[in-house]
Chains A and B, each alone.
Chain A
Amino acid sequence: MEQDIKIYITDREGVTHDIDAPTDMNMNLMEVVRSYELAPEGTIGICGGMAMCASCQCYIESEHELPEMSDDEEAMLAEAFNVKDTSRLGCQLHISRKMDGLKVTLAPEE
């Protein structure tokens, strides 16, 4: 569909999926992962998308310009495990046109 963008998501098993993500459904990256069942339910988006757990942590593998981190996201990542410089919380990344072609890898389950 016209409003869809491409996102390349590498799951926790190392398999890369070529995903069509809608920009008109007010979705975030964590929800896209769940809608395509790329991680088992109950292991991702546990807090529901409030930046209060780090179950949707992912590593950004492309050079896209992404929205800045909120204080909540920064604080949560400061307490999370397996954090890298490229870490973001999927629930805080609202799907937009600017993300077309984005490459991300899901962080391991804690």
Chain B
Amino acid sequence: MIQTDILIIGAGPTGLFAVFEAGLLKLKCHLIDALPQPGGQCAEIYPKKPIYDIPAFPEVLAGDLVDNLMKQIEPFQPGFTLGERADTIEKLEDGSFVVTTNKGTKHNAPIVAIAGGLGSFEPRKPQLENLSYYEDNGLAYMIKDPEVYRDKKVVIAGGGDSALDWSIFLADVASEVTLVHRRNEFRGALDSVEKVQELKNEGKIKLITPAEIVALEGANKLDAVQVKRGEEVTRLEVDAFIALFGLAPKLGPIADWGLEIEKNAIKVDNSLDYQTNIPGIYAIGDVNTYPGKLKLILCGFHEATLMCQSAYQRIFPDKRYVMKYTTVGGVTGFDGSKKEAPKAVVKAIE
């Protein structure tokens, strides 16, 4: 079981900055995120877009903001459980919590800080009949192991980067790759679009546009899909259908943790420390709500800072502490590193 002081659910900007503030108080953090990389929405949805309201940054790309945060928290050696969704929470007799992910990874901490943003990102599913029947039975929404598709007939649906990238990759693995998209145009990196064009010309990828999959067939497993192009519906025999329609955030299992929820967000005490109705569980950043709440990264940073002070007092109720400026106290990393302001030189001028 992974042990830490503050277990942070969500590795977006707010969760990452909490690691820094906790580190100043010598508290260790571990982060869980459903996405395979840290950064949350900033890394997943808009890494190349600028943000203009981070104090002292007239303009910063969302991806660069995440890179900077990762660099800032490096001395505090946070642990990460990535690509896993926090599913259940249990309170132990000693008052600490055990959070288990959908893959069974267990984490134990006296403090849980939910920095889950809009929730965990789940694949968007097409609206087709019998969808759940074929899930993991020929139908997939993400590719975990491409080898599963070796020498198989695969149909991919979608018009973004992941549909293009996987079509390119699987062209050398699968026996047949068909890419179906509702438009003739694809929204992806230019070289991916060009590569798909090239593979189409070579006959390695079959392209059906503008078209969509309208039905799934098969008795025990997926055998065929129906593709509608204009008014014409054709049947395509396939071994696998991979629907890549992007990701959408869902509050998910956290909604069942007994926390007070309002407007799809977790209610917290903003007059004090952003604690939820369950003592020891905090909610910071876009995932929380209180009167006057604004979903801004800069507000998340503030909330993370106050949460850490409160968490420290919860863990060490008898210890006296006053906040120290980093310019005065420097930053002492758990890795032995030490950053501090240069000392003034005192020397007489003769």
A38-69: CB near B (< 8 Å → 1, else 0) gives: 00111100111010110000000000000000
Q: Which of A42, A47, A53, A79 contacts B158 (CB 8 A)?
A: A79
Cα distance A110–B185 in the bound complex, in angstroms: 23
Q: How far is the CB of A64 from chain B (nearest CB, A)?
A: 25
CB-based contact A110/B159 at 8 Å: no
Q: Bin the interface of chain B by size.
A: 20 to 34
CB-based contact B183/A75 at 8 Å: yes
CB-based contact A81/B127 at 8 Å: yes
Q: Which of A48, A50, A79 contacts B159 (CB 8 A)?
A: A79
Contacts of B264 in A (CB 8 A): 40-43
A78 adjacent to chain B (CB < 8 Å): yes
Contacts of B181 in A (CB 8 A): 78
Contacts of A42 in B (CB 8 A): 118, 251, 263-265
CB-based contact A47/B45 at 8 Å: yes
Contacts of A78 in B (CB 8 A): 159, 181-183, 185, 187
A-B contact count (CB 8 A): 54
Q: How far is the CB of B286 from chain A (nearest CB, A)?
A: 10
Q: What is the chain A residue whose CB lies nearest that of B182?
A: A78
CB-based contact A41/B187 at 8 Å: no
Q: Which of B185, B245, B265, B289 contacts A75 (CB 8 A)?
A: B185
Q: What is the chain B residue whose CB lies nearest that of A50?
A: B46
CB-based contact B245/A79 at 8 Å: yes
Contacts of A48 in B (CB 8 A): 295
CB-based contact B118/A110 at 8 Å: no
Cα distance A86–B227 in the bound complex, in angstroms: 24
Q: How far is the CB of B169 from chain A (nearest CB, A)?
A: 20
CB-based contact A46/B126 at 8 Å: no
CB-based contact A41/B263 at 8 Å: yes
Contacts of A41 in B (CB 8 A): 263-265, 289
Contacts of B78 in A (CB 8 A): none
B203-228: CB near A (< 8 Å → 1, else 0) gives: 00000000000000000000000000
B248 adjacent to chain A (CB < 8 Å): yes
4 shortest interchain CB distances as A-B pairs: A42-B264, A41-B263, A75-B187, A78-B183
Question: Which residues of A line the B interface, CB within 8 A?
Answer: 40-43, 46-48, 50, 52-53, 71-72, 74-75, 78-79, 81-82, 110
Given A50-B46, A110-B124, 17 further pairs, Cβ under 8 A: A40-B263, A40-B264, A47-B41, A52-B46, A72-B187, A74-B183, A74-B185, A75-B185, A78-B159, A78-B181, A78-B183, A78-B187, A79-B182, A81-B126, A81-B127, A82-B127, A110-B248
A-B contact pairs, 5 of them (CB 8 A): A46-B248, A75-B183, A78-B183, A81-B124, A81-B127
